[in-house]
Amino acid sequence: MTLEQLLSHTAGLECEDHCRPMQDPSLASRILQERFLQEAIFIETEPPESRKYRHVSKPGNQIGYYSNAGVALASWMMEIAYNKRYKIDLSFADIMKKEIFQGVFSLSAQTVIRPGPTGDCIQSGAGDMTSSVEDLLKVAKRLQQGEASLEHVFGIKWQETMLRPRDLFEHHGLGCIANETSIQHLGLNQECFGGEIRDVSAMVAFPLSASGTGMAAICDFLL
């Protein structure tokens, strides 16, 4: 598996990231390396197959299959590489805050990555980021300036490289198009409401100009 395959969801890893409620809350702020190694503590209470990451397709065959496990593994790889390069001991969340949120876009303290409902930091790289509309607009407007404004950070033609499709059907790359009139997110996600597991369908769109119209629609149903 390569980092590019993990980030484009073509590494063939299963969707399940095997995150679970933390038995030791103090681990929630620890680095991913330590959290992954903690899988060993479940040997006596869970079957081995529930702790291993399975492949549902072969890495490199360009079959796209969304995987939280793949994103978590990519975050782990980046965390290890960064800490080794700078001889430091930062979590993935702190690295993103230092290098991207503050270092590139000068965002507020409202934009952070931290463990979600389970308290498991394995989830951090796969979507446990919270932000504000103001910060998201700041990022969007910076991206709308085009590739050149950020080439000193991400490299020559960075967006063109990211958007190049990696999957077999040439639908998905590593990023999203920046030069649009609005930012949109559509998704289906599973959430827990008062002990009930429901699927949540959401569509959110907000404009990149103060005079534009925004919209948010969320619905949920019991499985």
Chain segment 55-89, per-residue pLDDT in tens:
888 998 998 888 888 888 899 899 899 999 999 98
- Between residues 120 and 110, the one the model is more confident about: 110
**Percent over 90 (pLDDT), the chain:** 20
From the list 141, 166, 143, the residue with the least C-alpha distance to 154 is 143
In the block, residue with structure tokens 């965002």: 107
**Residue 151 has what pLDDT?**
93
Mean pLDDT of 104-108: 95
Mean pLDDT of 90-101: 93
Structure tokens belonging to residue 158: 């960075």
Domain boundary assignment for the chain? 3-129, 180-223
Interval 208-221: pLDDT, tens = 666 777 766 766 65
**Residue 13 has what pLDDT?**
87
Mean pLDDT of 142-171: 87
Interval 27-36: pLDDT, tens = 555 677 777 7
